[in-house]
Amino acid sequence: MQHQGGMGSQGNCVCVSCGAVKGHQPGKPCKDERCPKCGKVMVREGSEHHLLYLKKQEEKGKKA
Ligand SMILES: [Zn+2]
Ligand SMILES: [Zn+2]
């Protein structure tokens, strides 16, 4: 996995509900963004919340 630039004004917001991704808007917290598809709150791609979500998904997959 490549790291591009760090957590500046670049990046994406990710919906942990449906997986939709959209460009992060500088100065606007991801949690204030709403998913264009399902309307749920979004998180910053690569953030603690996002990684936590990915981890949960992994655990779900193991159970099946
Ligand atoms: Zn969504
Ligand atoms: Zn964002």
- Residue 6: inside a domain: no
Query: In terms of residue numbers, what domain contains 48?
Result: 12-63
In contact, 38 and 20? CB cutoff 8 Å: yes
Quick one: pLDDT band at residue 52, thresholds 50, 70, 90?
very high
Residue 42 Cα, ligand 1 centroid: separation in angstroms?
A: 8
- Residue 31: inside a domain: yes
Q: Domains in the chain: how many in total?
A: 1
- Please report, as a single letter, which amino acid is at residue 1: M
- Residue 49: inside a domain: yes
Question: Helices (H) and strands (E) in the chain — how many of each?
Answer: 1, 3
- Residue 32: inside a domain: yes
- Residue 7: inside a domain: no
pLDDT value of position 6: 53
Q: What residues flank ion ligand 2 with Cβ within 5 A?
A: 13, 24, 30
Give residue for tokens 């630039």.
Answer: 5
The Cα 56–Cα 12 span in angstroms is 20
- Residue 20: inside a domain: yes
Instruction: Tell me the per-residue pLDDT of 2-44, one tens digit each, with 9 for 90 and over.
Output: 555 555 567 999 999 999 999 999 999 999 999 999 999 999 9
